[in-house]
Amino acid sequence: MTNNLLKIEEPVNSKSKTHSLLTTKSIFAHVIFDLPFRSHFLLAPAFAVTCLTLWLAFLNGVFSFNTTGLTPVVWHLHEMIFGFSATIAVAFILTASQTWTGVRSLHGKALALLILVWLIVRIALLINTEYSVYTALVLQAIWWIAVIYIYTKQVISAQNKRNYLFIAMLFLMALMNTLVLVTDISGSTDIALHLSRSMILVFVLLMSLIGGRVIPFFTVRGANTEAITTPNWLNFSLIIVSLFSIVVFILSGFFDLSVMPAIFIITASILHFIRLLHWRPLKTLSVPLLW
């Protein structure tokens, strides 16, 4: 991925250099705002460590959550799944989309604004009053709408049909995010917990799709092997079985089903293992960077 940073002339002295760094133009031209993954890959892990620290403090009676908003366990699940994991996934997709499409990805002031909205949502949910949670719900929806719009515009303008699938995945994650917040706010914590666990399966499906693209690519490039091809029937079967796993698991929280989600999940794991064998994993052992 190439960087297309704005050029800033070298200042003639330290005073002008300091002034230049403080200008709006230089701030948003900084490399941190050049591609989505740079800022988000720093912020999301830092936030995850903060959440884990607060959660451990809560479990040991050192810290207490405001109980007028989300229930503590839903806050923890939500922030780990959506505040951390989904943020990393979205940042990766918005960055990779520039390579996939050749269209400039989100950067500069627009990226900074998206980061600001993300930060406000995290703070609002941590404050955890009824008002702050509703504020977070609205801003989180705006964040997802912006992400989906930006990505959709990229792939459609480039007619990159191969990656249209991620539009549906982003929309599904946004829907799950909204439902988790709404159900807990309305008092249906058990449903919020079930949807949070369901979202883990959705995230695994997303990892499967992205992994299917990048792992063979990096294996070929890093280990200098011949091209890797995965049978189409295997990729298709894996997606179908994974989707059935998610649907059946979600429905199992509301209905007594005659079929167990575990059947589809175990089947998907077997298909994953078969697909992995096609990727020549042993070739990566001699390349530490690929580990």
List b or e across 63-75, with b for residues whose CB sees 16 or more CB atoms inside 10 angstroms: eebeeebbbbbbb
Domain boundaries, the chain: 28-178, 188-291
Tokens (6 digits) for 16: 């002008």
In whole angstroms, give the CA distance from residue 135 to residue 140.
Answer: 8
Residue listed under structure tokens 């959709």? 152
Find the mean pLDDT for residues 139-145: 97
In whole angstroms, give the CA distance from residue 42 to residue 243.
Answer: 31
Residue 24: predicted pLDDT: 56
The predicted-structure confidence for 183-215, as pLDDT tens digits, reads as follows 999 999 999 999 999 999 999 999 999 999 889
Query: For all residues of the chain together, what is the average pLDDT?
Result: 89
- Split at pLDDT 50, 70, 90, the class of 23 is low
Would you say 86 and 173 are in contact if contact means Cβ atoms under 8 Å apart?
Answer: yes
pTM: 0.84
Residue 60: predicted pLDDT: 95
Measured between its terminal Cα atoms, the distance across the chain in Å is 22
